[in-house]
Amino acid sequence: MARRGPHGRVTPPEKPERPARPGTFRRIIATFRPYRGKVALVAVLILITSGLGLINPLMIKAAFQTMLDVSRPASQRLEELLIIVGIMIVVPVVSGLIGLWQTYTNNLVGQRVMRDLRNRLYAHLQGMPLSFFTSTRTGEIQSRLSNDVEGIEDVLTNTASSILSNITTVVSTIAVMFILSWQLTVLSLGILPFFLYVSRRVGKVRREVSGRTQATLADLTAITQETLSVSGILLSKAFGRQRFHIERFRAENERLSELEVRRTMIGRGFFALVQIFFSITPALVYGLGGWLLLHGSLNESPASLVSTIAAFTTLQSRLFFPLGQLLNVQVEIQSSLALFDRIFEYLDLEHGIVDRDGAVALEPSQVRGEVRFEDVWFRYGTTEHDGRLWALSGVDLIARPGELVALVGPSGAGKTTLTYLIPRLYDVERGRVTIDGIDVRDIRLASLGEIIGMVTQETYLFNASVRENLRYGNPAASDEDIEAAARAAHIYDRIMEMPDGFDTLVGERGYKMSGGEKQRLAIARVLLKDPRILILDEATSALDTHSERAVQEALTPLMSGRTTIAIAHRLSTILAADQILYLDGGRIVERGTHAELLARGGAYAALYHEQFSDGAVETRCEDGLVLAGGAIVPDLDPSR
């Protein structure tokens, strides 16, 4: 079972190599509920075809009796025989047409159920907290959505109707066989309980192997996704690790191949035994029928006995196939339950971070954008006593509308964690975070998404056109709005130099574009969104001087009039901030403006002098300006 700790942190479920959880079968039945009308139609069609299937064996008995009844004139018998033959021709045609209708309806229902499961699973995963995705491989998630759902296709499209059809056929056939001869029926069915017991045992083993097979397939999918993505293949080539990944893939693929063979072969010996038994039973029927006739145990004439045996062996052939199918279905269902368990395990994962009862939706136009942290404590541990250190400890801050609040400090100080608490990517453990005085936990998540915008260090672009990537920030944006945002982000001219302008495909994760170009596209995307609160997470730290300058120019219109919280390693990007907070060990150890912090001579001043005072990245300019890290800023150092 999946486990969820505080703040919505979810541990992925274990691999399902155990028996089914209680209620799995009931939940499978529930997936058909929206289509109960069509399911009922399938059931009616199955009953009709099963009833029609009994007609021809009885017609065979009638045909033999007619042909062997020498007491009646030949012309009369021939006339009856033609009628019987006509019925035997019409019945399969009608049954076949009804069968086509049944197959279409059955497959329609099965595919709709699969569609619903995919939609539910995808929608449920969209609501999972960030912690789930940081602890789960993407390939594992993809495997649940594709491999596992596709693995249950046969059960959904064929098994349900097959069970009803075969049960109906078996029950009706056995009833008619008993009417014809109870002795021959007992002979035919005497060993059936043994086969039922063995099939149940075989099914359990096959189910366990099926669970392990799907888990291995998920591992293989994860390896493929990780190593054949643009980032993965780039890393592999840069480190010369192709052979390692090839051997790793081969080993996992070999394991999958062995499991598939084992899953296929499990029970084949059993089914071979069933087939052999079903094949020799007609001979036993002939032997028993002859013995009963010779010993006078049957009160039938030879002609009647011949017609009975002919009809009985025909019914046997009609009986044994559905019996074999039912035994096989028992095994297949056990295998498929492992797949359903994997799907339901993900559907049962708790979202953790959800809307509270009575949560409000804020109108973006009415949001001022004041952000407050009031004695906020947070850690990534799963329990209160797991020994993990606090990522944030007693944080208090105010970011007022229109202000730029900068977060600086060493790596691991809690800067990014602090920004994650505003849009509720995680929830605080103590204290609260408010927007305009309202606890963010009392604001609807969709509303938070509308009023908060983020530009991160690693820009994610979809493998789509420039226009589609920009419109992601505002689906209703017109082409004029998109062009205006591109101009404001200083990326318009570069877009127009591309082969297809705004319709140019950016490639997987935007790899056709430089880092600075991707960052400016991200800024244009946020400009289109027009959020009241802006979070910049080291938006320029990975860029060269030229690209950083271009991105800084693009950020100027983006920050105007908004509450901006910026994380920065390069102090040149935040020297003019209204408030600078220096974090260390999850605490705010210094706060103030650039000039105030320099005058204090503490940790911030040490960081500033480390970056600029050695002259390696700083050049004095005229008029009291300093060229620092590629940006021209006021010389605020009072020690000069």
| Cα–Cα distance, 533 to 370 (Å, whole number) | 8
Residues 6+ apart with CB under 8 A from 272: none
Indicate if the pLDDT at residue 431 is higher than 90: yes
Q: 36-50, 147-161, 419-433, 442-456: lowest mean pLDDT where?
A: 147-161
Indicate if the pLDDT at residue 309 is higher than 80: no
Structure tokens at 184: 């021959």
Q: 574, 597 in Cβ contact below 8 A?
A: no
Indicate if the pLDDT at residue 296 is higher than 50: yes
Q: 589, 581 in Cβ contact below 8 A?
A: no
pLDDT in the model for residue 102: 86
Q: What is the mean pLDDT of residues 207-226?
A: 76
Say if residue 145 is in the same domain as residue 213.
yes
Q: What is the mean pLDDT of residues 79-85?
A: 86
pLDDT in the model for residue 620: 39
| Cα–Cα distance, 389 to 172 (Å, whole number) | 69
Q: 591, 579 in Cβ contact below 8 A?
A: yes
Say if residue 300 is in the same domain as residue 378.
no
Domain boundary among 347, 378, 408: 347
Say if residue 321 is in the same domain as residue 429.
no
The DSSP letter of residue 590 is: E
In a domain, 505, yes or no: yes
Q: What is the mean pLDDT of residues 388-396?
A: 87
Q: 472, 462 in Cβ contact below 8 A?
A: yes
Say if residue 450 is in the same domain as residue 553.
yes
Which residue reads 């060990």 in tokens? 585
Sheet holding 392-399, edge to edge: 392-399, 371-378, 430-435, 438-439
In a domain, 364, yes or no: no
| Cα–Cα distance, 299 to 437 (Å, whole number) | 96
Q: How large is the C-alpha radius of gyration of the chain?
A: 37
| Cα–Cα distance, 137 to 246 (Å, whole number) | 19
The model's confidence at residue 373, banded by pLDDT at 50, 70 and 90, is: very high
In the chain, the number of structural domains is 2
pLDDT in tens, 128-166: 888 888 777 777 787 787 777 777 776 777 666 777 777
Total count of residues recorded for the chain: 640
pLDDT in the model for residue 300: 59
pLDDT in tens, 220-250: 877 777 777 656 665 666 666 777 778 888 8
The model's confidence at residue 210, banded by pLDDT at 50, 70 and 90, is: confident
Strands (E), 413-528: 430-435, 438-439, 452-456
In a domain, 233, yes or no: no
Residue, of 358 and 240, whose pLDDT is higher: 358
SS3 for 287-347, per residue? HHHHHHHHCCCCCCCHHHHHHHHHHHHHHHHHHHHHHHHHHHHHHHHHHHHHHHHHHHHHH
CA angle, residues 191, 193, 199, in degrees to nearest 5: 110
Dihedrals phi, psi of 393, to nearest 5 degrees: -135, 110
Q: 392, 586 in Cβ contact below 8 A?
A: yes
Q: 31, 119 in Cβ contact below 8 A?
A: no
In a domain, 640, yes or no: no
pLDDT in the model for residue 389: 81
Q: Which of 85-94, 242-251, 367-376 has the highest mean pLDDT?
A: 367-376
The model's confidence at residue 305, banded by pLDDT at 50, 70 and 90, is: low
Structure tokens at 572: 């040149």
The model's confidence at residue 197, banded by pLDDT at 50, 70 and 90, is: low
pLDDT in the model for residue 398: 94
Residue, of 318 and 412, whose pLDDT is higher: 412
The model's confidence at residue 592, banded by pLDDT at 50, 70 and 90, is: very high
pLDDT in the model for residue 394: 92
Structure tokens at 287: 């032997």
Say if residue 321 is in the same domain as residue 385.
no
- Which range of residues forms the domain containing residue 390? 370-634
In a domain, 194, yes or no: yes
CATH code at 513?
A: 3.40.50.300
Indicate if the pLDDT at residue 383 is higher than 60: no
Residues 6+ apart with CB under 8 A from 367: 435, 436, 451, 532, 533
pLDDT in the model for residue 631: 41
pLDDT in the model for residue 259: 82
Indicate if the pLDDT at residue 623 is higher than 60: no
Q: 42-46, 97-101, 327-331: lowest mean pLDDT where?
A: 327-331
Count of other CB atoms within 10 angstroms of residue 22: 7
The model's confidence at residue 192, banded by pLDDT at 50, 70 and 90, is: low
pLDDT in the model for residue 8: 43
pLDDT in the model for residue 2: 43
| Cα–Cα distance, 426 to 352 (Å, whole number) | 9
The model's confidence at residue 13, banded by pLDDT at 50, 70 and 90, is: very low
Report the half-sphere exposure of 166 (CA within 13 A, side-chain side): 18
Structure tokens at 164: 């009803």
| Cα–Cα distance, 173 to 315 (Å, whole number) | 6
Q: 408, 401 in Cβ contact below 8 A?
A: no
Say if residue 511 is in the same domain as residue 596.
yes
Q: What is the mean pLDDT of residues 364-373?
A: 90
Indicate if the pLDDT at residue 274 is higher than 70: no
Q: 249, 242 in Cβ contact below 8 A?
A: no
Say if residue 412 is in the same domain as residue 453.
yes
With CA atoms as reference, report the closest residue to 326 among 456, 236, 192.
Answer: 192
| Cα–Cα distance, 413 to 371 (Å, whole number) | 20
Say if residue 324 is in the same domain as residue 377.
no
Look up the pTM and report it: 0.68
Say if residue 615 is in the same domain as residue 510.
yes
pLDDT in tens, 477-497: 899 999 988 888 888 888 898
| Cα–Cα distance, 146 to 138 (Å, whole number) | 12
> First-to-last CA distance in the chain?
63
Say if residue 341 is in the same domain as residue 211.
yes
In a domain, 59, yes or no: yes
Say if residue 334 is in the same domain as residue 424.
no
Percent of the chain with pLDDT over 70: 73
pLDDT in the model for residue 220: 81
Indicate if the pLDDT at residue 19 is higher than 50: no
Say if residue 329 is in the same domain as residue 404.
no
In a domain, 481, yes or no: yes
CATH code at 58?
A: 1.20.1560.10
Q: 88, 341 in Cβ contact below 8 A?
A: no
Q: 338, 210 in Cβ contact below 8 A?
A: yes
Beta strand 404-408 with 563-567 is parallel
Q: What is the mean pLDDT of residues 612-618?
A: 51
In a domain, 500, yes or no: yes
Q: What is the mean pLDDT of residues 512-523?
A: 82
**Average pLDDT taken over every residue of the chain:** 77
Domain boundary among 312, 347, 382: 347
| Cα–Cα distance, 594 to 599 (Å, whole number) | 9
